[in-house]
Amino acid sequence: MLFDELSVQKFHIRVLIAGACGIFTDGYVLGSISPALPSLTSALHLSPHQTGLVASAPLAGLLFGSLLASPILDKIGRRLPFAFDMMAFVFLALFHALTSDLTSLLILRFIIGCLLGIDYVAGKLYVSEFLPSASRGRLMSWLSVAWVGGYTSAYAIGYVMHLAWPQGTWTIIFMSAALPALCAALLRYGMPESILWLLSQRRIADARRIADRYFGAVELPPRSSGTPSSGRSGTLGRVVQLFSGRQWPRSIGATLFYVLHNVPYLVLSAFLPEVLRNAGLHDPFKSGLFYDALLLSGSVIGLWIVERFRRRSLIVGSFVLQGSCLFIIS
């Protein structure tokens, strides 16, 4: 049987859970911004401009880390970033205890964002390269649920902490991300290298050994004949290929979709308590919890509908509905 045509096995579930725990942590880190901002603004006496810098620092790092991830993953493989970036998360989250000024906080949050960007790419790429094609769409959807679960959990935990310690809560909220990161690091420890990456590097014997250990005698895809590309020229060549010929409309469309979907959502969510307070709601934190509960419900519903609608129809339809709702709100 071909490697890509296997039925879902225990190791596939292990890879999915290990990847989902990391994506959960990614969502938790970004979700912790919103409940931490009120106490952070009060403690450090931040202006609205400085508050915006704190909220946007991890997003700027996320962009930079995502761009940096591709050449790193192609050069050193998927396993090392996948296995050890969560352990780095643990130390960076705990480092908030030593951060007491705006400059060091911005630097720390930017570095965390860079690691987020690398893990976004490494986690999803690692999981997708192991999952069989027939189940890939359905199983990969769980990563989105994990991200939303982490984001929602951060807001809920931050709300409880805000009630318990109205002042100085931001340090504890940011440090709490170390716990899910540690769980993800333990689950990812000892994971093998991606078989597809090994084949792209013509390391056929290593790929064969990993396949025999985890899947038995399966037929590997004919990837060993390709020429592995690494370094600046290889990365730039692939970028040019994405935005040339018949491929460029798809690349532009996918890029615009993610930008127009994520930027309004992340900005609105980062300042959610303040937005809801200005909207006249008496308890913006409780309203935010309701908002995040709807968000989590939508991601779970998405698991059911993703296999029942064509991908293009689902993407375009959901995007139109989201844009319509944002237009009504504005």
Whether the Cβ atoms of residue 5 and residue 130 lie closer than 8 Å to each other: no
Question: What's the number of domains the chain is made of?
Answer: 1
Q: What pLDDT does 91 receive?
A: 94
The pLDDT value given to residue 167: 67
Evaluate whether 10 touches 138 at the Cβ level (below 8 Å): no
Q: Would you call 189 helix, strand, or coil by DSSP?
A: coil
Domain of 302 in residue numbering reads as 3-329
Regions of the chain short of the pLDDT cut 70: 166-168, 223-235
With CA atoms as reference, report the closest residue to 186 among 112, 86, 118.
86
Residue 185: phi, psi to the nearest 5?
Answer: -65, -40
Q: How far apart are CA 263 and CA 316, in angstroms?
A: 17
CATH number, domain containing residue 157: 1.20.1250.20
- pLDDT at 234 (0 to 100): 61
Task: Report the b/e string of 248-278 with b at 16+ CB within 10 A.
Answer: eeeeeeeeeeeeeeeeeebeebbbbbbbbbe
Q: Under a CB-based contact definition with an 8 Å cutoff, are residues 191 and 183 in contact? A: no
Cite the beta strand spans of 53-181 per DSSP E. Answer: none
What pLDDT does residue 223 have? 59
| CA-wise closest residue to 37 among 264, 269, 226 | 269
Residues contacting residue 323 through CB under 8 Å, at least 6 positions apart: none
DSSP single-letter state for residue 229? -
Q: Which two tokens stand for residue 195?
A: 């078989």
State the Cα–Cα distance between residues 231 and 34, nearest whole angstrom: 38
The C-alpha angle with vertex 95 and arms to 46 and 273, in degrees rounded to 5, equals 40
Residue 184: what pLDDT?
A: 93
Q: Looking at this protein, which amino acid is placed at residue 322? A: Q
Query: Using one digit for the tens of pLDDT, what is the confidence trace for 179-220?
Result: 999 999 999 998 999 999 999 888 999 999 999 999 888 888
Question: What is the pLDDT, as a whole number, of residue 228?
Answer: 46
- The counts of H helices and E strands in the chain are 15, 0
Measured in residues, the chain has a length of: 330
